[in-house]
């Protein structure tokens, strides 16, 4: 493809994206296809001869779009959002165009240093502790997802607790314990599995039935019981905005308990952490200054294309001690000088793309004030949903609204709640997800898209009311 042809096709690709965005409101939010429908439209083998890029764009419309659940749709309310924005997409395009591999500082100094500065900017916007800054003892790195951040935190915790022995001879010989509430993200168990501890090493702690936050007294009792039994606490994960209900654990209180037993404290604020750009929503991060590590995902609620998970540590020595390895082919003067950061030592992967460009573009083109406006808009719409629930006797709140997440149900019961939700999802009008809280089924409605308006919320509510007539 010549430079001029690339320019033409690039314009065509951007036009396709713009047209796709313009059509979102008319598309069913959840894909209406059955398993295998997309596969049947694709040839069994790759083409022997080259095809024009126009054919790829044509097949996006014919094959791909019908098989998509549209995460950028204004009425996508399931799970937490995977937000995108024009600035983030263009930033990602630039990253792909540059094609740099930033595994070590020497392979592209700008990849490392832009990321350091952008994460310092973001840490300042969130009012994170000074220790998390790049010029302090810790620092930040962009991971692909919060799941990787949790795994990395656990490896760091094991390195610190074992005095470095875990990286040399493994985790055998000590029965390690990891703690999280019953509402902790599933990645905590997966991290324990990948670290070689096994899923039985994760002890789940009960939550307060009303708030769904971790019962700190139960955590203290569990850790004391485990120590008495010869087990060794290595990490506690606190949730700031759990996936199920948006529950906020008491980080400060959990930190005190973790400190008693020398356990690493990892704060998972993957969804809710970005709300701290707003001064009035920083209270849920109270106590984060005691955390050993902290993660939040701009790719969820902060307009930054997937993947972009920002992860900070208080002391980078535990992190790099767990993961640093220097084969001869990567040796270079900059690394050996000790004056640079090599991000290959900050996550399990060696290779890494220039993810910071898209976050840099978002921070610059929206400004922190624009990001605050976006977050406040989502919270206001969620408040409107809560008002709608309160105004209809057929529905009831299951938990208090948490930022932009509302959890509610039909009073008629679990079967009716799930049937009404599925009717809305099947209609294509909106997409909602479910959870179970205190043994009852509930609907989750999470606002996050910058496209979502009051009219979208009202339209979704009308669809739920109609479904309630049929299933309630």
Please give the pLDDT value at position 472.
Answer: 62
Tell me: do 165 and 233 sit in the same domain: yes
Please give the pLDDT value at position 302.
Answer: 95
Tell me: do 345 and 426 sit in the same domain: no
Q: Which of 292, 319, 353 is the last residue of a domain?
A: 353
For residue 94, being part of any structural domain is answered with no
For residue 269, being part of any structural domain is answered with yes
Taken in order 466, 467, 471, 472, the sign of the CA dihedral is negative
For residue 392, being part of any structural domain is answered with yes
- E strands in 206-284: 232-239, 264-268
Tell me: do 58 and 158 sit in the same domain: no
Which region holds residue 246: left if phi is over 0, alpha if psi is between -120 and 50, else beta?
left
Which region holds residue 50: left if phi is over 0, alpha if psi is between -120 and 50, else beta?
beta
> Residue 95: enclosing H or E segment and its boundaries?
helix 86-98
Tell me: do 248 and 393 sit in the same domain: no
- Mapping DSSP to helix (H, G, I), strand (E, B) and coil, where does residue 279 land? helix
From the number of C-beta atoms within 10 Å of its C-beta (0-12, 13-18, 19+), residue 273 rates as buried
CA 81 to chain CA mean position, Å: 9
- Mapping DSSP to helix (H, G, I), strand (E, B) and coil, where does residue 443 land? strand
Burial track 409-432 (b if 16+ CB lie within 10 A, e otherwise): bbeeeeebbbbbbebbbeebbbbb
Q: Where are the alpha helices (DSSP H) in 60-186?
A: 86-98, 109-126, 146-161, 165-169
Please give the pLDDT value at position 336.
Answer: 80
Mean pLDDT per segment of 10 residues, for the chain of length 472 residues?
Answer: 90 96 95 92 92 93 94 94 92 93 87 96 96 95 94 96 91 91 92 94 95 96 96 97 94 96 96 96 93 97 94 96 85 82 88 94 98 97 98 96 97 96 96 96 96 97 93 68
Tell me: do 341 and 374 sit in the same domain: no
Q: How far apart are CA 272 and CA 447, in angstroms?
A: 12
Tell me: do 255 and 132 sit in the same domain: yes
What is the total count of domains within the chain? 3
Please give the pLDDT value at position 275.
Answer: 97
For residue 327, being part of any structural domain is answered with yes
Tell me: do 288 and 165 sit in the same domain: yes
CA 408 to chain CA mean position, Å: 23
Per DSSP, 402 falls in state B
State how beta strands 232-239 and 264-268 pair: parallel
Structural domain of 467 = 368-471
Q: How far apart are CA 108 and CA 80, in angstroms?
A: 34
For residue 73, being part of any structural domain is answered with no
Token pair 């994760």 is found at: 202
- Whether the bond between 307 and the residue before it is cis, its omega within 30 degrees of 0, is yes
Please give the pLDDT value at position 82.
Answer: 85
Q: Phi and psi dihedrals of 265, rounded to 5? A: -110, 115
With a CB cutoff of 8 Å and minimum separation 6, the contacts of 396 are 389, 408, 409, 411
Q: How far apart are CA 23 and CA 33, in angstroms?
A: 18
Residues 284 and 275: beta-carbon distance below 8 Å = yes
Q: Which of 304, 324, 353 is the last residue of a domain?
A: 353
Q: Which of 22, 312, 6, 12 is nearest to 146 (CA)?
A: 312
Tell me: do 214 and 114 sit in the same domain: yes
For residue 87, being part of any structural domain is answered with no
Q: How far apart are CA 307 and CA 299, in angstroms?
A: 6
Tell me: do 323 and 416 sit in the same domain: no
For residue 77, being part of any structural domain is answered with no
Helix axes 216-228, 251-260, angle to 10 degrees: 10
What confidence tens digit (pLDDT) does each residue in 42-89 have? 999 999 999 999 999 999 999 999 999 999 999 999 988 888 999 999
Please give the pLDDT value at position 137.
Answer: 94
Tell me: do 135 and 183 sit in the same domain: yes
Token pair 């985790």 is found at: 171
CATH code: domain of residue 434: 3.90.1150.10
Whole-model pTM: value is 0.94
Tell me: do 290 and 151 sit in the same domain: yes
With a CB cutoff of 8 Å and minimum separation 6, the contacts of 89 are 17, 305, 358
As given in the structure block, the two tokens for residue 53 are: 């890029």
CATH code: domain of residue 198: 3.40.640.10
- E strands in 229-364: 232-239, 264-268, 293-296, 309-313
Q: How far apart are CA 429 and CA 25, in angstroms?
A: 9
For residue 420, being part of any structural domain is answered with yes
Q: Where are the alpha helices (DSSP H) in 261-355?
A: 298-301, 316-323, 333-337
With a CB cutoff of 8 Å and minimum separation 6, the contacts of 303 are 83, 84, 85, 87, 88, 362, 366, 371, 374, 450
Tell me: do 331 and 377 sit in the same domain: no
């Amino acid at each position: 493809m010549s430079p001029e042809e690339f320019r033409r096709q690039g314009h065509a690709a951007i036009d396709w994206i713009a047209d796709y965005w313009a059509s979102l409101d008319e598309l069913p939010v959840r894909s209406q296809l059955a398993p295998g429908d997309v596969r049947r439209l694709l040839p069994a083998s790759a083409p022997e001869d080259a095809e024009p890029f126009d054919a790829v764009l044509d097949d996006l419309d014919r094959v791909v779009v019908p098989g998509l659940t549209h995460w950028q749709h204004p009425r996508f309310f399931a799970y937490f959002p995977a937000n995108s924005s024009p600035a983030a997409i263009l930033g990602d395009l630039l990253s792909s165009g540059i094609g740099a591999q930033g595994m070590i500082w020497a392979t592209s100094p700008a990849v490392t240093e832009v990321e350091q500065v952008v994460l310092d900017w973001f840490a300042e916007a969130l009012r994170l502790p000074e220790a998390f800054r790049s010029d302090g003892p810790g620092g930040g790195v962009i991971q692909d997802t919060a799941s990787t951040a949790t795994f990395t935190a656990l490896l760091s915790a094991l390195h610190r607790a074992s005095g470095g022995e875990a990286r040399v001879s493994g985790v055998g010989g000590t029965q390690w314990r990891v703690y999280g509430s019953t509402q902790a993200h599933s990645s905590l168990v997966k991290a324990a599995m990948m670290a070689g501890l096994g899923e039985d090493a994760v002890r789940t702690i009960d939550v307060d039935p009303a708030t769904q936050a971790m019962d700190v007294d139960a955590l203290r009792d569990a850790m004391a019981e485990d120590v008495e039994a010869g087990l060794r606490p290595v990490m506690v994960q606190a949730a700031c905005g759990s996936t199920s209900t948006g529950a906020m654990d008491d980080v400060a209180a959990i930190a005190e308990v973790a400190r008693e037993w020398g356990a690493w404290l990892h704060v998972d604020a993957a969804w809710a952490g970005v709300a701290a750009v707003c001064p009035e929503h920083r209270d849920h991060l109270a106590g984060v200054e005691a955390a050993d590590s902290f993660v939040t995902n701009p790719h969820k609620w902060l307009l930054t294309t997937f993947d972009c998970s920002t992860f900070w540590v208080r002391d980078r020595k535990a992190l790099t001690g767990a993961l640093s390895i220097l084969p001869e082919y990567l040796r270079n003067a900059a690394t050996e000088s000790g004056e640079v950061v090599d991000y290959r030592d900050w996550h399990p992967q060696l290779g890494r793309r220039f993810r910071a460009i898209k976050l840099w573009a978002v921070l610059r083109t929206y400004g922190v004030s624009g990001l605050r406006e976006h977050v406040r808009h989502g919270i206001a719409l969620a408040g409107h949903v809560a008002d709608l629930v309160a105004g209809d006797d057929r529905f009831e709140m299951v938990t208090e609204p948490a930022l932009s997440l509302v959890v509610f149900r039909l009073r008629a019961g679990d079967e009716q709640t799930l049937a009404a939700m599925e009717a809305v999802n099947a209609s294509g009008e909106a997409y909602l997800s479910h959870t179970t809280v205190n043994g009852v089924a509930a609907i989750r409605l999470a606002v996050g898209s910058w496209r979502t308006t009051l009219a979208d919320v009202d339209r979704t509510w009308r669809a739920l009311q109609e479904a309630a007539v049929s299933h309630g």
